[in-house]
Structure 1
């Protein structure tokens, strides 16, 4: 941003902004992997235990059965949970700062006043770049948990938020 230029226009209405629909798949993938991979390990362990007895199934069939019995339900639960996490994640920028709301049953709302913002990062993984998404990381003054991440924002929104919050930091420094 050029010195003296106005910060980019961002809607400062008090409305909560949902994440773009193209972020849904990344939320689902993250939770499917988070539940499915440990489920595969547990399924293999269950299959090894069942296969070592050798009474009903051969060893490879017992391992495959253990994976299906344990990992598949966990992966399906992760898929459902990922869609719910996507649906109940929103952000808002107002005159006081950035707020992120997550969850439905256990709601968590994190507010970052602009006066506490130290620096800002934008992260883009390969799957995010492919979908024109980005994660905005807002580093704040204070505790060990001094960063707030807003995952899978529209890349243009992430850059505009970074520029808007960064302009506020520059203004406060003067």
Structure 2
């Protein structure tokens, strides 16, 4: 029988690195977005293939393939949710996305031009908001963070807006 002491010391817990996860209630919106994003093009492709090839067996196979692709899209949306993090610190706003294709975007407070909050009907239902930070520049001049808690999004907007006003006062 293996004793707990035989397993060695417990791994150290990761320190709080300041990155914030999206709220749990945003999961279903990411899953729905992923499923819908796959459903429409997959339906068009599979209907075209079914019409071109024909036959009832092909149509049933196309339906099964469509359902599998929609489920895969939902799963990919959940993965996208899991690997999205944000932070606001003294240097500015940061957003991390992805695991396989990892992207970290940093927006210094001095580059923020204006901030928008967007709330679609499903986001309003879940008390979520999308924060859009517009920056100086032309390439990648906006950073959008979907499905933030509505209160967090408003606090981020207010804090970033205070930076904008502070920079305007210094000019």
When the two structures are superposed, what TM-score results if normalisation uses the length of structure 2? 0.85
Say which of 93, 110, 113 aligns to 1:118: 113
Aligned equivalent of 1:66: 62
Equivalent residue for 2:29? 26
Deviation at 1:62, TM superposition (A): 4.3
Corresponding residue number in structure 2 for 1:169:
164
- Which aligned pairs between 1:22-61 and structure 2 lie closer than 5 A? 22-51=25-54, 57-58=55-56
Whole-Å separation in 2 of the counterparts to 1:165 and 1:22: 25
1:148 partner SS: strand
Cross-structure match for 1:84: 79
Offset of residue 14 of structure 1: 5.0
Please give the alpha-carbon distance, in whole angstroms, between the structure 1 residues aligned to 2:42 and 2:107.
36
Instruction: Give the equivalent residue in structure 2 for 1:99.
Output: 94
Unaligned runs of 5+ in 1: 1-12, 52-56
* Aligned length, in residue pairs: 154
* Cα separation, 1, equivalents of 2:21 and 2:140: 24
- Give the deviation of 1:172 after TM superposition: 1.0
Query: How far apart are the structure 2 equivalents of 1:97 and 1:44?
Result: 48
Structure 1 contact 43–68 (Cα < 8 Å) conserved: no
Q: Is the 8 A contact 1:117 1:140 kept in 2?
A: yes
Structure 1 67/41 Cα, relative in aligned 2: closer, same or farther at 3 Å? farther
Normalised to the residue count of structure 1, the TM-score between the two structures is 0.84
In the other structure, the counterpart of 2:6 is: none
Q: Distance in 2 between matches of 1:172 and 1:65?
A: 60
- CA shift, 1:48, in A, is 0.4
Cα displacement (A) at 1:65: 3.6
Q: Do structure 1's residue 142 and structure 2's residue 137 form an aligned pair?
A: yes
- Structure 2 CA distance for aligned equivalents of residues 153 and 43 of structure 1: 35
**Stretch deviating more after TM superposition (33-42 or 20-29):** 33-42
* 1:68, distance to aligned residue in structure 2 (A): 2.4
Partner Cα separation in structure 1 for residue 136 and residue 17 of structure 2: 24
Where does the alignment leave 5 or more consecutive residues of structure 2 unmatched? 1-15
